[in-house]
Amino acid sequence: MSERIILLHATPVAMQPIHQSFKDIWPEAELVNLLDDGLTIDRALSEELTPELIERFVRLGHYGNDQGASGILVTCSAFGPAIDRLSRELAVPILKPNEAMFRAALASGKRIGMLATFAPAVITMTEEFNDFVAEIGSDATLKTIIVADAIDLLRKGDVDSHNRLVAARAHELSDCDVIMLAHFSTSRAYEAVKEKISIPVLSAPDAAVSLMRSLVEQKEELHYVNWRYC
């Protein structure tokens, strides 16, 4: 029986990249998509992640878990505190969209660059990055460039213009050891960015799928060992 992975989406533009990554890395997984794009719309209207938005997000996560989830992967980077709460309340592996990419970046150097297109997500992402830095005892720093208008073009279906705008800002991070593409949606610009810069470029979806598969398989292995010897 395939492992059922619940994908929590807060914007439609994150869906194609993560589907492609599952197809490439873990095609056997059974994917269930839960989309509430009102979360992103309302998040953009608020300077902070409000308790009301956290509650809405957590309810969505519980609904996904009730469908027999083997794991829950969040594809929007603007809801870190809500994901933390969901992780405390549910027993299945729950993965933030950028967790795996952050770890890979910190393994690549100390001067980390990030190209972002959705400004409200940058605050919580920076907090998460700093948490990982503290966790491993690193003195790594993060330099973020917010690419204006790119995500609006992507939402209108203009992928080429989105990719061009993101890639055009990559040179501003040329002094970094590695560049991260902040959001799942930003991963569409991966090839365009690589053409503009000589340093390594990381995108979130592939790293997230690989880590989720590892977490689910470890949990299943532990369950088998406990069952065998109980």
Nearest to 120 by CA among 78, 166, 162: 78
**Chain segment 188-201, per-residue pLDDT in tens:** 999 999 999 999 99
> Do 38 and 57 meet the contact criterion of CB atoms below 8 Å apart?
no
- Tell me the pTM: 0.83
Tokens 């790293």 belong to which residue? 207
| Distance (Å, whole) CA 53 – CA 164 | 32
Whether the CA torsion 198, 209, 82, 135 is positive or negative: it is: negative
pLDDT confidence band for 219 (50 / 70 / 90)? confident
CA atoms within 13 A on the CB side of 214: 8
The conformation of residue 70, written as its DSSP 8-state character, comes to S
| Distance (Å, whole) CA 163 – CA 158 | 9
**Chain segment 152-195, per-residue pLDDT in tens:** 999 999 999 999 999 999 999 999 999 999 999 999 999 999 99
Q: DSSP for 4-58? A: EEEEEESSGGGHHHHHHHHHHH-TTSEEEEEE-THHHHHHTT-SS--HHHHHHHH
**Chain segment 6-43, per-residue pLDDT in tens:** 999 999 999 999 999 999 999 999 999 999 999 999 99
CATH architecture of 99-204: 3-Layer(aba) Sandwich (3.40)
Q: How far is CA 207 from the centre of its chain?
A: 9
Q: How far is CA 184 from CA 21, 69, 117, 121, 190, in A?
A: 10, 21, 11, 12, 11
**Chain segment 35-59, per-residue pLDDT in tens:** 999 999 999 998 889 999 999 999 9
Helix 204-229 × helix 99-106 angle, to 10°: 100
Per-residue pLDDT at 208 exceeds 60: yes
What are the structural domain ranges in the chain?
Answer: 4-97+206-229, 99-204
> Do 117 and 186 meet the contact criterion of CB atoms below 8 Å apart?
yes
- Partners of residue 141 on adjacent β-strands: 111
The conformation of residue 152, written as its DSSP 8-state character, comes to H
CATH topology of domain 4-97+206-229: Rossmann fold (3.40.50)
Q: What is the pLDDT of residue 141?
A: 97
**Chain segment 73-122, per-residue pLDDT in tens:** 999 988 999 999 999 999 999 999 998 999 899 999 999 999 999 999 99
Q: What is the pLDDT of residue 18?
A: 96
Per-residue pLDDT at 1 exceeds 70: no
> Do 72 and 6 meet the contact criterion of CB atoms below 8 Å apart?
yes
On the question of a common fold for 4-97+206-229 and 99-204, the answer reads: yes
